[in-house]
Chain A
Amino acid sequence: MTSATQSGRPAASAAASPNQLRRHEWLTLLHRAAASRRGAIGLSLAGLVALVAVVGAIWTPCSPTAFLYAPLQKPSVQALLGGDYLGRDVLSRVLAGGWVLLVMAVAATVIGVSFGAFQGIEAAYLGGRTDTVIMRGMDVFLAFPAIVLALLIVGTVGPKLWLIVLAVGLGHVPQVARVMRAAALDIAERDYVKAVELQGVKPTRIITGEILPNLVSPLMVELGLRLTYSIVIIAGLSFLGFGQQPPAPSWGNMISENRIGLQTNPWAVIVPAALIALLAIGTNLFADAVARAAIGADRQVEQAFVRTEAAKAAQ
């Protein structure tokens, strides 16, 4: 009995005890990812950009849509980043142009990953015909590049923001479904799933109650990865004019609008481009750190005990 009580205590290392690890696995993964160097850099980059976007949503030095300066005015003390091609304040537009991108990217990711994950797990668990129908459908879907699919949808219906979110989210579904199906195949065959099945519990409950809790790690990794893709695709669509419509500011359309004045006031292009790049790099680094933490996590559950014992012995 002693062994079990001891393992309930927090482990000596930064990681949590097996108990906490299981109860809040997603939190622990985030925590461990943030503790790694890669994760810390990623988180600070993405956090910085997010901060810019959030601040801009609340406050800007001047109105982002007012014509204040000469077109493409060079930066000065009054206009820190100068004016854009219509003479609007670049700094204000940069600040105000980020939050919509962030919200859209997060929404698209959540929609895409949750739908994709459910499809994948359902295919894996139910198997047979359902599996074939779902996965072959996904294959057809997969044949279209995500951005082409989004362009197609938005191009036909029109540049509505919710539609862009949906289109980008949908583009994630096949990839997420594939990954989650592979992970769930193993879990679905475990005895503990069978045990609940034998009680006549409904498949949906088994998927959410028994299988999903064992797939937290791959789910987290997918979320991080897809967030990066969402950011890039949505910013790209915005650049192509399928996003917020002028005069509303967005990083994507700022790049596109101010291209013509690249030689006169480059900041109007460089700053929004750099922010998009930093955001993408930051989320990608962090997603990578989460993936690395997740690989360690399964081993960790098993080894947490051993480490506590070893730490105690070493003292």
Chain B
Amino acid sequence: MNVATNAPTRLRVRGLQVCLAGTNTDVVSEVDFDVALGEVLGLVGESGSGKTTVALSLLGYARRGLHITKGQVLLDGQEILGMPERELPALRGGRVAYVPQEPAAALNPVRRVGKQIDEILRVHEGRGSRGGHVAGRVHDVLSSVDLPTDRAFLRRFPHQLSGGQQQRIVIAMAFACQPGVIVFDEPTTGLDVTTQRRFLGLIADLCATSGVAAVYVSHDLAVVGQVAKTVAVMYAGRIVELGPTATVFETPRHPYTRLLMRAVPSLDKAEVMEGIEGQPPRPASRPVGCSFAPRCPGVGPECLSSPPVMVDLSASHRVRCVRVRSEAQRTSGRQVIPLVDSAQPGPAVLEVEGLRASFGTNEVLHGVSFRVPEDSCVAVVGESGSGKTTLARCIIGMHTNWAGNIRYAGEELSHGARQRDGDVLKKIQYVFQDPYTALNPRKTVGQLVAQPIDHFFGLARAEADARVVRVLEDVSLSADFLNRYPDQLSGGERQRAAIARALAAEPDLLVCDEVSSALDVSVQAMIIEMLRRLQAEHRLAMLFITHNLALVRGMAQSVVVLSQGRIVEEGPVEQVFEHPRDPYTIRLMSDAPRLSPAAATGSGQMPEFRADRATER
């Protein structure tokens, strides 16, 4: 049962079950895994799969409304669940540490970082400090994560540190008391790829050297691949596949894992991404048989009768699928998108020339120029803070503090949307990043989509209604959705509705700002494929803004790489991806996490890691 390793087991989880409080509806059930000393287990799943619930129960904690009902969590053989309340504080932070998603939220903004590390050492003094030399320990702790240890640094407040440094402080605090287990809850969300890569290397290193058993929770397969030796894939509250990362990535055996892998965009090839139809069942409405059966392409009658049990494929590889032995392994690759001949770009729909945008007196875009030819998709790639969203908002007239020229079909655009005439407003449509805030919660999908139609076209009611239905069909939403409110939709459905609203205006140019970043991979794949189809069908020009390089590959014909408000590289997608010239682009490409098994070595340690101590200072 133990994963192929000789190291002793540090953390053992058996039959863990977490239920909605007061009911016997399980949110998470039948969770078994072991983590050996010095190892990292990757816990992968989409939103709602129960991965965070599992992670928190390792600290003997259940979120409000949940209750740990069954199972064992053994730390070095000692049971954690059911531990008396007064022993828990010593456990948490002392023997089991937790690294949350948002480092900024985990650090107290009004206390100096030195004090905060000092505090955790003092609280757990019995275990942490050697002979009470806390000050010396703070020094050790900081240097273990390659942060400066001088007094000036210790006296800084969290806001005076970069995101990467903040996250490193949080890691330092987690490792400070030499815990047995560390739980990482998507700690790299919001970090740029380079910082993320260094950070993952640091985690793998620290775990290996300090003998900590780590559980790394993430929705991102590629990230887990970089840090974890073993990976557990969760679906609907159960582990559906558990095995060595390389094995699982190379030969995934559960249908869900296979589909999930196919939904991950590739940096190396322009491929059609395939999403997974449907949605995971909610805790109370899971089917009798396999939870994945309703979405599974290879479903058989035996899948529907009883819940599947874990099948051991080898000593270390286990899969929760009854058909795992009977089903043929389908290994066909994804369909490759043929290269569009981009030699002759059409006339420009949108031209941006020397765009300088500022917030107050602080300039964030320093002279950006590019053009979007008709019928083609231009991707703007950049990390957080590169100014890509500001760029989009200047173009649509939401950000008005800019200088330079933006021309639409040869015509100069005014700064704000209010000053632009109706035709331009209709022709350029914008899709917001977050579908959870972009739809008015008091309006039905029908009303939301009808709104631009009524505003721009002033059709008769019947004709307008017919058009609403047609636009919804375009984004694969049936007429059933007309009377639903946004909070009755899943994230993917919301984003479809938001795209439908933009399409309803019959635009020539669609500006998509990180439209898939708030969505799960399997949903993202479907949204991106839909956008690609819509772009071709409606002959749209598209400005596709993203931080995720891999999405660009199949989507766009040309790409603009934005860094700190400047374009560092631009060109046809193939050229930029195959032969990047700018060092920034090269770094972006090499640091982006990949799904390729080669990356799954678990120790992404690299020489430049040491160097960044100087640069970040």
Inter-chain contacts of A310 with B (CB < 8 A): 20, 22-23, 25, 284
A3 to B487, CA, bound (A): 11
Docked complex: B416-456 residues within 8 A CB-CB of A: 417-418, 420, 422, 425-426, 430, 432, 434, 437-443, 451-452, 455-456
The smallest C-beta distance from A210 to any residue of chain B, in angstroms, reads 6
Q: Does B501 contact A (CB under 8 A)?
A: yes
Known A4-B484, A196-B451, A199-B505: A22·B25 in contact at CB below 8 Å: no
Are B23's CB and A192's CB within 8 A? Answer: no
Is B488 among interface residues, defined by CB-CB distance under 8 A? yes
Q: Which residues, 495 to 517 on B, are CB-close (under 8 Å) to A?
A: 498, 501, 505
A192-B437, A309-B284 given as contacts; is B484 within 8 A of A198 (CB)?
Answer: no
B304 CB to nearest A CB, Å: 15
By the criterion CB–CB under 8 Å, are B430 and A195 in contact? yes
**A49 → chain B, closest Cβ, in Å?**
34
Contact B439 A313 (CB under 8 A): no
B485 contacts A by Cβ under 8 Å? yes
Asked whether, in the complex, the Cβ of B25 is within 8 Å of the Cβ of A313, the reply is yes
Expressed in whole angstroms, the minimum distance between the Cβ of A208 and any Cβ of chain B is 12
Expressed in whole angstroms, the minimum distance between the Cβ of A198 and any Cβ of chain B is: 5
**Interface contact A3-B441, CB-CB below 8 Å:** no
Q: Given A2-B281, A198-B396, A313-B20, A210–B440 Cβ distance below 8 Å?
A: yes
Within 8 A of B (CB), among A167-203: 190-201
For B, the interface residue count at a CB cutoff of 8 angstroms equals: 47
By a CB distance below 8 angstroms, the chain B residues around A210 are 440
Give the residues in chain A near B437, CB-CB below 8 Å: 190-192
Does B285 count as interface, using CB distance less than 8 angstroms? yes
Of all chain B residues, the one with the shortest Cβ separation from A301 is B487
Q: Are A191 and B397 in contact (CB under 8 A)?
A: no
Report B-chain residues with C-beta under 8 Å of the C-beta of A22: 441-442, 485
Determine if B534 is an interface residue (Cβ-Cβ < 8 Å): no
Q: Digitize B256-289: 1 where CB-to-A-CB distance is under 8 Å, 0 elsewhere.
A: 0000000000000000000000110111110000
Tell whether, in the assembled complex, residue B430 and residue A3 are in contact, meaning their CB atoms are under 8 Å apart.
Answer: no
> How distant is the Cα of A193 from the Cα of B417 in the complex, in angstroms?
13
> Which residues of A sit under 8 angstroms from B282, Cβ to Cβ?
3, 309
Inter-chain contacts of B493 with A (CB < 8 A): 4
A2 & B487 in contact (Cβ 8 Å cutoff): no
Q: Which of B466-506 contact A (CB under 8 A)?
A: 480, 483-485, 487-490, 493, 498, 501, 505
Cα separation A7 to B487 with both chains bound (whole Å): 10
B324: A residues at CB distance < 8 A:
none
A192 contact set on B, CB distance < 8 A: 437-441
A270 to B: closest C-beta gap in Å:
48
| Docked CA distance A312–B24 (Å) | 11
Q: How many of A's residues come within 8 Å of B, CB to CB?
A: 35
Give residues 12-28 of B contacting A (CB, 8 Å): 20, 22-25
Give the total number of A-B pairs whose CB atoms are below 8 A apart.
103
The residue from A1, A18, A19 contacting B279, defined by CB atoms under 8 A apart: A1
B441 close to A198 (CB less than 8 A): no
Contact of A3 with B285 at beta-carbon distance under 8 Å, contacts A8-B488, A198-B430 already known = yes
Select the residue from A3, A5, A314 with max chain B CB neighbours within 10 A: A3
| A22–B440 CA distance with the chains assembled, in angstroms | 11
Which of A199, A201, A214, A314 counts the most B-chain CB atoms under 10 A from its CB? A199
Residues of A within 8 A of B441 (CB): 22, 192, 214, 301
- How many Å from the CB of A214 to the closest CB on chain B? 6
Closest A residue to B24 by beta carbon equals A313
Contact assessment for A201 and B20 in the assembled complex, using a CB-CB cutoff below 8 Å: no
A182 to B402, CA, bound (A): 30
Given contacts A22-B442, A199-B505, A213-B440, contact A1 B284 (CB under 8 A): no
A2–B291 Cα gap in the complex (Å)? 14
* B-side contacts of A312, CB under 8 Å: 284
B282 vs chain A, min Cβ distance (A):
5
Do B440 and A214 touch across chains, with their CB atoms under 8 A apart?
Answer: yes
Asked if A63 CB lies within 8 Å of chain B CBs, one says no
Nearest A residue (CB) for B23 = A313
Contact B417 A7 (CB under 8 A): no
Q: Complex Cα distance A18/B480, Å?
A: 16
- B336 interface residue per 8 A CB criterion: no
**Alpha-carbon distance A230/B483, docked complex (angstroms):** 40
Cβ-defined contact, B487 with A18, below 8 A: yes
Please encode chain A, from 281 to 313, with 1 for each CB lying within 8 Å of some chain B CB and 0 for all others. Answer: 000000000000000000001100100011011
B363-397, CB under 8 A of A: which get 1 and which 0? 00000000000000000000000000000000011
Is B135 interfacial (CB 8 A cutoff)?
Answer: no
- Whether A313 pairs with B284 at a CB distance below 8 angstroms is yes
Given contacts A194-B398, A302-B487, contact A200 B439 (CB under 8 A): no
* Residues of A188-235 contacting chain B, CB below 8 A: 190-201, 210, 213-214
Q: Which residues of B contact A4 (CB under 8 A)?
A: 484, 488-490, 493
- Chain A's closest residue to B438 (CB) is A191
B442 touches A213 (CB 8 A): yes
Chain A contacts of B24 at CB under 8 A? 313
Q: Per-position contact with B for A20-58: 1 when CB-CB < 8 Å, else 0?
A: 001001000000000000000000000000000000000
In angstroms, Cα B22 to Cα A312, docked, is 12
Q: Which residue of B lies closest to A214 (CB)?
A: B442
Q: In the complex, what residues of A have CB within 8 A of residue B278's CB?
A: 1
Q: A309 near B285 (CB under 8 angstroms)?
A: yes
Is A6 an interface residue when CB atoms closer than 8 A count as contact? yes
> How distant is B15 from chain A, measured CB to nearest CB, in Å?
21
Measured in the bound complex, the distance between the Cα atoms of B455 and A210 in whole Å is: 14
Please give, as numbers and ranges, the residues of chain A lying within 8 Å of B443 by CB-CB distance. Answer: 213
Is there contact, CB below 8 Å, between B22 and A314? yes
User: How far, in whole Å, are A7 and B493 apart by their CA atoms in the complex?
Assistant: 15
- In the assembled complex, the CB of A151 is this many whole angstroms from the nearest CB of chain B, namely 41
Question: Which chain A positions have C-beta within 8 A of B396?
Answer: 198
Among A1, A4, A200, A210, max chain B CB count under 10 A is at: A200
Decide: A309 and B283 in contact? CB cutoff 8 A: yes
Give, as a whole number of angstroms, the nearest-CB distance from B139 to chain A. Answer: 45
Select from chain A the residue with minimum beta-carbon distance to B65. Answer: A306
Q: Is A198's CB under 8 angstroms from B489's CB?
A: no
Q: Which residue of B lies closest to A201 (CB)?
A: B455
Contact A200 B488 (CB under 8 A): no
Check B422–A200 contact: CB distance below 8 A.
yes
Q: Are B485 and A200 interface neighbours, CB within 8 A? A: no
Report chain A residues within 8 Å CB of B455.
199-201
Which chain B residues border A193 with CB–CB below 8 Å?
Answer: 440
Question: Which of B20, B278, B432, B441 has its CB near the most chain A CB atoms (within 10 A)?
Answer: B441
The 6 A-B residue pairs with the shortest CB-CB distance in the complex, in nearest-first order: A213-B442, A313-B25, A192-B440, A309-B284, A191-B438, A313-B284
* A to B CB contacts below 8 Å, 15 in the list: A1-B279, A4-B484, A6-B285, A19-B485, A22-B485, A190-B437, A192-B437, A194-B432, A198-B396, A198-B430, A200-B420, A214-B440, A310-B20, A313-B24, A314-B23
Interface residues of B (CB under 8 A from A): 20, 22-25, 278-279, 281-285, 396-398, 417-418, 420, 422, 425-426, 430, 432, 434, 437-443, 451-452, 455-456, 480, 483-485, 487-490, 493, 498, 501, 505
Instruction: Give A contacts to B, CB under 8 Å.
Output: 1-8, 18-19, 22, 25, 190-201, 210, 213-214, 301-302, 305, 309-310, 312-314
Known interface pairs A19-B484, A199-B425; 18 further A-B residue pairs with C-beta atoms within 8 A, sorted by A's residue number:
A3-B279, A4-B484, A7-B488, A18-B485, A22-B485, A25-B442, A190-B437, A192-B438, A192-B440, A192-B441, A198-B397, A198-B425, A198-B430, A200-B420, A200-B422, A201-B455, A214-B440, A301-B441
